[in-house]
């Protein structure tokens, strides 16, 4: 009689933990959405800067700063410039708007201290300026999408695992996840733990990916090669370690017989 209230209590606690985890992934997804929105805003500004007027300016600071912390030594470019709009002078440190792909030492070498430069400035807000206008970057958007998709994937996966752990009835989402998992693990089941069979499948997929076929055929082959190639390596490693353990066990058995 007492087991039913205990089971109900455990079920309620499990559901509360599941909701807490889902809330965490939801917050991470919101952060990713905020980063995506900010990245889109920066991209819009970068595109608009290509039409900004130019002003004469000069580099007043150009050096590589070194920072050391628990994770190691990091370097950052410290670039500042002064420019004149009408009778007013402004300063800025923006080389490009949004993300960039330049190296720290490369940008410092490109803009040495004292060099005369052309500065693009916002005609409605002259304090906003950039050295390299029109340079587009999608780094922030990529990070935001990765965070959102990763949070969604982890939320769905953890929700599925916890639901199964509490023996709850499978819903439509659970059925879809089970189908996906069965599809993903089918090559491993087909190989039956034999690395030679898995290696043959990966090799065939790799050969298909190198042929000049339609992308609808080559892209799945590339994904299969990358995904199950890693599984093939793990299977080889497991077989190798099993062989070594078998040798060690055989030596121990021989010593025991002596």
Mean pLDDT lowest among 18-32, 52-66, 151-165: 151-165
Model confidence pTM above 0.95: no
The answer to the question of residue 22 being in a domain is yes
Residues 32 and 157 in one domain: yes
C-alpha 225: how far from its chain's center? Answer: 20
Strand partners, 65: 76
Residues 210 and 97 both lie in one domain: no
**Encoding tokens for residue 22?**
């889902």
DSSP 166: T
In 3-state terms, the chain is what percent helix, strand and coil (to 5)? 60, 15, 20
- Quick check: is 46 in a domain? no
Please report whether residue 44 resides in a domain: no
Same domain? For 240 and 112 the reply is no
Please give the Cα distance from 207 to 204 (Å, whole number): 5
Q: Transcribe 69-125 into DSSP letters.
A: ETTEEEEEEEEEEEEEETTEEEEE--SSSS-----HHHHHHHS-TT-EEEEEE-SSS
Task: Indicate if the pLDDT at residue 1 is higher than 50.
Answer: no
16 is a domain residue:
yes
**CA distance to 4, 10, 190, per residue, from 1 (Å):** 6, 15, 47
Are 83 and 122 found together in one domain? Answer: yes
**Nearest one of 161, 151, 141 to 26, comparing CA atoms:** 151
Place of tokens 């990763």: 150
Q: Which domain holds residue 196?
A: 172-257
Residue 187 lies in a domain: yes
pLDDT for 173-198, tens place per residue? 778 877 877 888 888 888 887 888 88
For the chain, the domain total comes to 3
| Cα torsion angle, 216, 220, 221, 226, sign | positive
Q: Are residues 70 and 195 in the same domain?
A: no
Strand, coil or helix: what is 136?
Answer: coil
pLDDT (tens digit, 9 = 90+) per residue, 212-254?
878 887 888 888 888 888 888 888 888 888 777 877 776 555 5
Give yes or no: residues 177 and 251 share one domain: yes
Q: Give per-residue pLDDT as tens, 102-146.
A: 788 889 999 999 999 999 999 999 999 999 998 888 888 889 999
CB-based burial of residue 188 (10 Å sphere; 0-12 exposed, 13-18 middle, 19+ buried)? middle
Residue 181 forms part of a structural domain: yes
Contact 170, 178 (CB under 8 A): yes
159 lies in the same domain as 176: no
Mean of pLDDT over the chain = 85
Residues 35 and 55 in one domain: no
Angle at 56 between CA 106 and CA 89, to 5 degrees: 105
């Amino acid at each position: 009689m007492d087991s039913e209230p205990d089971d109900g209590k455990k079920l309620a606690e499990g559901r509360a933990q599941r909701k807490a985890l889902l809330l965490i992934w939801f917050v991470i997804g919101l952060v990713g959405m905020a980063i995506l929105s900010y990245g889109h805003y920066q991209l819009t500004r970068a595109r608009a800067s290509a039409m900004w007027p130019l002003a004469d300016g000069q580099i007043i600071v150009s050096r590589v700063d070194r920072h050391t912390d628990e994770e190691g030594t990091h370097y950052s470019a410290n670039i500042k410039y002064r420019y004149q709009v009408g009778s007013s002078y402004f300063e800025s440190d923006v080389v490009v708007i949004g993300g960039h792909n330049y190296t720290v030492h490369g940008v410092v070498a490109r803009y040495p201290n004292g060099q005369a430069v052309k500065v693009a400035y916002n005609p409605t807000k002259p304090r906003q300026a950039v050295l390299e206008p029109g340079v587009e970057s999608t780094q922030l958007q990529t990070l935001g999408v990765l965070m959102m998709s990763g949070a969604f994937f982890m939320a769905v996966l953890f929700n599925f695992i916890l639901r199964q752990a509490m023996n709850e009835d499978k819903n439509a989402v659970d059925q879809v996840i089970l189908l996906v998992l069965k599809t993903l693990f089918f090559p491993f089941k087909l190989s039956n733990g034999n690395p030679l069979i898995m290696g043959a499948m990966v090799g065939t997929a790799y050969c298909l990916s190198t042929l000049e076929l339609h992308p609808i055929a080559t892209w799945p082959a590339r994904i299969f090669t990358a995904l199950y190639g890693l599984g093939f390596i793990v299977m080889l490693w497991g077989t190798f370690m099993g062989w070594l353990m078998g040798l060690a066990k055989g030596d121990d058995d021989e010593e025991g017989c002596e």
